[in-house]
Amino acid sequence: ETGVTQTPRHLVMGMTNKKSLKCEQHLGHNAMYWYKQSAKKPLELMFVYSLEERVENNSVPSRFSPECPNSSHLFLHLHTLQPEDSALYLCASSQAFDFGLYEQYFGPGTRLTVT
Amino acid sequence: AQKVTQAQTEISVVEKEDVTLDCVYETRDTTYYLFWYKQPPSGELVFLIRRNSFDEQNEISGRYSWNFQKSTSSFNFTITASQVVDSAVYFCALSEAAETSGSRLTFGEGTQLTVNP
């Protein structure tokens, strides 16, 4: 595997379900990110992990819970979601240093539908 | 607060035409970075270019070229002799120098480019 991978690619879940999205990066990076991409909206940054510590949480509802067990893996745990949470969830990674210099590399995304 | 505006929501051209995608940004920082990403129908954002605020030299990479004008806060992207494979959504993004590590990208709303044969 190369680059950034995400599983599953598609997910349909009911509002009472619990599921998790997985992201893995094979680039040797030490920062990872979750973004939400809804139709007709710009990409929204949800969480930032740098050196396995969460450094940013952009007022995301608690029904989204991130986990970063090591610098290569990132999870997004989902529970009691709402239909408006249906979107493409993108994971990205980058180097962590030099404060904004490095580009982010994205995975293919998970298309989530909440019914 | 930083902001990126891509005023062109959709552009449609015929193959071999040149096309320019506009990007205007707002920031209070003197040190910042600008990016362009391509998102084909598969969904994955593909990194195209990074430019820092101290380097206003324009760049050319094959059929792609970028025009950075600090005076007008613009970072426009031109595709020469467009091809059908260039059809995608293109995002311009801005990252300011952050106090903590990791980069925070602010994205524009994207421009859907359709290149017709």
What gap in Å lies between CA A53 and CA B109, rounded to an integer? 29
Report the SS3 class of residue B35.
strand
Average pLDDT, chain B: 91
Task: Name every chain B residue with its beta carbon within 8 A of the beta carbon of A29.
Answer: none
Q: Which of A75-84, B48-57, B60-69 has the lowest mean pLDDT?
A: B48-57
pLDDT, block means (10 residues), chain A with 115 residues: 90 92 95 90 87 75 92 95 94 78 89 94
Please give the residue that has the higher pLDDT: either B95 or A58. B95
The verdict on whether omega for the bond into residue A8 sits within 30 degrees of 0, i.e. cis, is yes
Per-residue b/e over B76-90, b at no fewer than 16 CB within 10 Å?
Answer: bbbbeebeeebbbbb
Report the SS3 class of residue B70.
helix
Task: Name every chain B residue with its beta carbon within 8 A of the beta carbon of A48.
Answer: 102, 104
Other Cβ atoms within 10 Å of A34 Cβ, number: 24
How much of chain B, in percent, has pLDDT values that exceed 90?
69
pLDDT-based confidence at residue B57 (cuts at 50, 70, 90):
confident
Distance from CA of B111 to the nearest CA of A (A): 11
Q: How many CB pairs under 8 A join A and B?
A: 77
**Residue B96 near chain A (CB below 8 Å):** yes
Of B6, B18, B8, B9, whose CA–CA distance to B83 is shortest? B18
pLDDT-based confidence at residue B10 (cuts at 50, 70, 90):
very high
Task: Name every chain B residue with its beta carbon within 8 A of the beta carbon of A100.
Answer: 32-33, 95-98, 103-104
Task: For residues B50-75, give the mean pLDDT.
Answer: 91
Residue of B nearest to A102 (CA): B103
Say if the Cβ atoms of A31 and B104 lie within 8 Å. Answer: no
